[in-house]
Chains A and B, each alone.
Chain A
């Protein structure tokens, strides 16, 4: 056991000491921050729009619009000018000089036919345009109704907005989680699982190849059993991945708690950030499911990566031979992604039962809220069984392979290795 422990420590310490580990550890939070803040930054771009209203209406409608837009906190109405020849041209020059962002041309045709014109340096902000359109639409609607003699109080009542709240029912209980939140949680978990399985699997592969090409393996196998060595490697690299997750988890939490202030500082607006990106709630049970399935998947795939590496003599060879394993992980990821919208489909159920895909599919379905504890346990049990079987086979290939040099074995030779090892 002491020997295995020595291998675990070496793998762990050498990796933690590497710069690349800390780059990853820091990139994680940067990535999270980007994902949290990106939608905000994209929509918020520029903050307040300075606007001039060109009022050609014959009613007070222009004034009403200007006042209402000003109160949206999205637009700042710099002024309201009457329409006249050359006004639009001079305003366009003002936009060019960046004194204002744009101008809105209103005439009676707004209430009559629903026509208005907005000219601005940036007309691609869907949110701004949407808000503008909605505000104008409502005001026009109200003006028309009032003109037809409808009681303004009645109009106000009729225009009360619908606010649809979505709440997820998970495992029979209504949660405070919205549809957006479960989706983003499932998506995040899948993405992190996918990246981590690949990343750490490839690290195990590299470690095997390094020992093989440096020939230190000859000394090692005369000291401990190949299986002990393999086990030590898996646990060592696995421990590194857990530390990585811990760093990501803590920094993610910190970021989340500081999100509102960060967002307002960066976007300049005081709007509720939650509307832009739904922050998922990660419960203890979810974290547990994530870690359990990650570890299962990690051992399963890393054992395969180790076996692949053992059959190769150089890193280039290994990079080619790993493709089937990588493709399996990709199937797990894209399969789970495709079934995210319909987590009860037969494909989704299958994916979460097959050990090669369940490490990604099951946590995703759990996050989407469609699994009972029994489902998870069944899936996990199958994964553990699959992992034990695959590790057993991989260990046999590893044992023979690590001392081989020269030509890569074909499938028939591999089968013989597994049988005779």
Chain B
């Protein structure tokens, strides 16, 4: 996914958005106790195992954006997906599943035209938004935004 991600208090948060939406900014503003997974390309895997129930794991990746800092080699269960936009105040609003799937797909790095693969990508996006909460996160670029996130 074209998204930043970070871990705080044992949970991972994904920040999706086009270039300029604030992926690097939100990563830069992360508090000292947060672990950065990437500010550019996020990696998620389905986590069907164990007591956590069904969900997703987010992993650190070596793909850095403007931050030019390689993500930590750690994993954590994905707690929320945020769709970023810069604004004049910090707000979080829930996004309904179909809207979330649409925005997610806009940020999936996918280049094939095979109908079967397209089906799998659509399926994956629908699955993700039906088990992980998604929000639109509007933020002013200062560290207080992290009080809303985690």
B is a partner of A: no
A positions within 8 Å CB-CB of B: none
